Chain A
Amino acid sequence: MLSKRNPQLNAHGELIHLLSIEGLPKAVLTQILDTAGTFLSVNDREVKKVPLLRGKSVFNLFFENSTRTRTTFEIAAKRLSADVINLDIARSSTAKGESLLDTIANLSAMHADMFVVRHAESGAPYLIAQHVAPHVHVVNAGDGRHAHPTQGLLDMYTIRHYKQDFANLTVAIVGDIVHSRVARSDIHALTTLGAAEVRAVGPRTLVPGDLKAMGVRVCHSLEEGIKDADVIITLRLQNERMSGALLPSAGEYFKNFGLTEDKLALAKSDAIVMHPGPINRGVEIDSAVADGRQSVILPQVTYGIAVRMAVMSIIAGNDA
């Protein structure tokens, strides 16, 4: 089979869509993080706007419900002076039987410049990116279990902010990794940026052995997984996974894999604790840790806006 060019990059290797962190060169990731740094100050200004996307229309296409991620994309686009249109597709077109690409074609006819897409199926943003006009950009805001690249990038921004360099870091990702697009994006970003060790931690039903192929160390005990870690990323356990064949109960999960102060003491004393939100207190993380001095969960949200501004401004400046 002919190997195809990564559809996120143009012939010059510049980012035109953000679909996944996988396959992006380190330089591109670093460029996004550096650019995000310059936008952080915009958020502190009295007039929180720069004109980089003035006159551009950004469509938030959420085929799957999300308030938090959609809101942060909306804020980011508005701070870049774009016009933002939010479409809750889950309740409109597709409910009437319109196909994904027909929806995209119709919105393209309204002269969209950028689509921010969340979809329940892995790979959906690739399909969209392959069928939009050359000047239209696509940002993946989460597709199935596959990728959530802006979350991965904001996690990297957070880690770099607190730890400066990735080279000597041990990062533990704890929880439902098999179903997590955040975990996949974090893993690709960390291995690309050169983290010393990335660990995937959880019971065998949620942490498959195949993950080793992504360059992580697989740990099936929390103690082993977070020992001497510099960064702990806890993942949200979805309600529907808490009782069934994957896990018997939220209580048993918390007892074995929930992050408590006692367990956290196994990590390095200056370890930071992250979570993509929204958190389930008492399921994957104890309140004392979520609100504790090592938690950087709220700064993550702040950095998220700057990172999304960086992504949108960079891809809007590159042509297919």
Chain B
Amino acid sequence: MKVLITNGRVVDPASGRDERADVAIAAGRIVGIGAASPDFDADRVIDARGLVVAPGLVDLAARLREPGQEHEGMLESELAAAAAGGVTSLICLPDTDPTLDEPGLVEMLKFRARKLSRCRLFPLGALTRGLGGEVLTEMAELTEAGCVGFSQADAPVRDTQVLARALQYAATFGYTVWLRPNDPWLGGGVAASGAVATRLGLSGVPVSAETIALHTIFDLVRASGARVHLCRLSSAAGVELLRAAKAEGLPVTADVSINSLHLTDVDIGYFNPAMRLVPPLRQQRDRDALRAGLADGTIDALVSDHTPVDADAKILPFAEAEPGATGLELLLGLALKWGDGAGIGLTRALASVTSAPVRVLGGALGSLAASAGRLVEGGVADVCIFDPSAHWAVTAAALRSQGKSTPFAFDASGVELPARVRYTLVAGHIAHEAA
């Protein structure tokens, strides 16, 4: 199919391109950016007047809930949510049931996602069998099946020896290990330690749960040379340690969630279960440091941390509520809201959800690495076309995801999100088109 996107504002953060141009697409690839050739015979012309034509978003953290947790989400619903959010590639976590520790499961997921053709799916394999933190998985086999890295999701590796060996083994093959820095002994609470948790009588997670884990990881990276991606930093002290580690030249990257970027523990209010999140929301100085870290590149990418949670699992007392929030459809709006609020602008904000996460993935993306998250002639036609001036209210009815719980729900926040996705193209095929 040949598609011509006309009259849009083409923004490509990787190259710095920001101009009015047409984008011509054929056979799944971008064949021209600029004035369209008059003999380009498009099957479909998209008039993007007043719209931004950007690379499709790349989300480094989304739970799709398959296999095993279909009551919370299914590939159909969650990949439709991705497309509706302008996300054209996503990394899914291995904490499914069963966990993604078998090549067959990974192949099945990739196959099903391909058939739906809504969004490219890149699974993280389990770092240890059953995420039990004891026995390494067959990382080479899993990579062959399509895994782009290995993760424990939120499950701990209590035994530091096992973690050291997992990093050594991964480094042997050049695989990236994705770890959320959280000391399991200190990190068991339901809210960030601090005045709010103390006042509300909620068990706290101290900042040291993150910093102790970071110190351990950095030392093991020094010893093994393994490449580590740090998932969902939550504290100012964590950002400082990351900054120092990068200055030292350690092969580490990091992301932050849309929740930690915009909210603080004060937003828990009167025990709002929508604010029950992992990692927990911290204080304003932490949020400020996370925003500054993302702005200056210390933190590489912004992620949705999409975790659809069944409604029944959220109508519970705060500590008993299941952690997590829906996010795929909020990623673009919250990236732009941050870009606007932080005064760094649209292009830089888009980079945090397009080109920057692709750099994190690096060679694990194979041939896609050269053009995913970018708009380049000859590259894959993964495109997000959105209306930058439209605002929308986050309501259950507006969300495609099966998960409706979010801290940004309009009825609780009273705030609308900027930017509405009009079209999402994956490999030149229209994966989403707003009504």
Taking Cβ atoms with an 8 Å cutoff, the residues of A that contact B are 1-2, 4, 6-7, 22, 99-101, 119, 121-124, 126-127, 131, 143-147, 178, 181, 184, 208, 210-211, 213-214
Contact = CB atoms under 8 A, between A and B. Distances in A.
B201 A122 contact: yes
Given A210-B198, A214-B198, A122 B317 contact: yes
A144 B319 contact: yes
Contacts of B271: 122-123, 126-127
Contact of A210 (B193, B273, B316): B193
B43 interface: no
Interface in B197-214: 197-202
A30 B147 CA distance: 64
Contact of A2 (B198, B319, B413): B413
Interface in B241-289: 263, 267, 269-271, 273
Interface in B303-350: 312, 315-320
A121 B270 contact: no
A143 B319 CA distance: 12
B195 interface: yes
A101 B197 CA distance: 24
Contacts of A144: 201-202, 317, 319
B310 to A, nearest CB: 12
Given A101-B315, A127-B273, A210-B198, 7 more contacts: A119-B317, A122-B317, A144-B201, A147-B201, A184-B199, A210-B195, A214-B199
Given A99-B316, A127-B271, A210 B194 contact: yes
Contacts of B201: 122, 143-147, 181, 184
Nearest to A144: B201
A146 B200 contact: yes
Residue from A101, A144, A214 having most chain B Cβ neighbours under 10 A? A144
Contacts of B366: none
B27 interface: no
Nearest to B195: A213
A7 B208 CA distance: 34
A208 B197 CA distance: 11
Contacts of B198: 178, 208, 210-211, 213-214
Given A1-B267, A1-B413, A123 B317 contact: yes
Contacts of B415: 1-2
Nearest to B413: A1
Contacts of B195: 210, 213-214
A2 B315 contact: no
B199 A121 contact: no
Nearest to A179: B201
B16 interface: no
Nearest to B315: A101
A126 B415 CA distance: 23
B38 interface: no
Nearest to A123: B271
A4 B200 contact: no
Given A145-B201, A147-B201, A181-B201, A122 B269 contact: no
Contacts of A101: 315
Contacts of A119: 317
B315 A99 contact: yes
A121 B317 contact: yes
20 contacts: A1-B415, A4-B269, A4-B270, A4-B412, A7-B270, A99-B315, A100-B316, A100-B317, A122-B201, A122-B271, A122-B317, A123-B200, A123-B318, A143-B317, A146-B200, A208-B198, A210-B195, A210-B198, A211-B198, A214-B198
Give the 10 A-B CB pairs with smallest separation, nearest first. A123-B271, A145-B201, A146-B201, A213-B195, A121-B317, A2-B414, A122-B201, A210-B198, A124-B317, A123-B318
B270 A123 contact: yes
B319 A127 contact: no
Given A1-B413, A2-B413, A121 B269 contact: no
A4 B411 CA distance: 11
Contacts of A22: 199
Contacts of A126: 270-271
A213 B193 CA distance: 13
Given A1-B267, A99-B316, A122 B202 contact: yes
Contacts of B200: 122-123, 146
Residue from B197, B198, B270, B316 having most chain A Cβ neighbours under 10 A? B270
Residue from A1, A144, A178, A208 having most chain B Cβ neighbours under 10 A? A1
B319 to A, nearest CB: 5
Contacts of B193: 210
Nearest to A210: B198
Given A1-B413, A144-B201, A122 B270 contact: no
B199 A122 contact: no
Contact of B319 (A7, A121, A147): A121
Nearest to A63: B317
B337 to A, nearest CB: 13
Nearest to B318: A123
A216 B412 CA distance: 32
A6 B415 CA distance: 20
Contacts of A178: 198
A121 B194 contact: no
B315 A127 contact: yes
A123 B203 CA distance: 12
A73 B23 CA distance: 72
A2 B267 CA distance: 9
B338 to A, nearest CB: 16
Interface in B44-67: none
Contacts of A213: 195, 198-199
A2 B320 contact: no
Contacts of B316: 99-100, 127
Residue from B201, B273, B414 having most chain A Cβ neighbours under 10 A? B201
Contacts of B319: 121-123, 144
A105 to B, nearest CB: 11
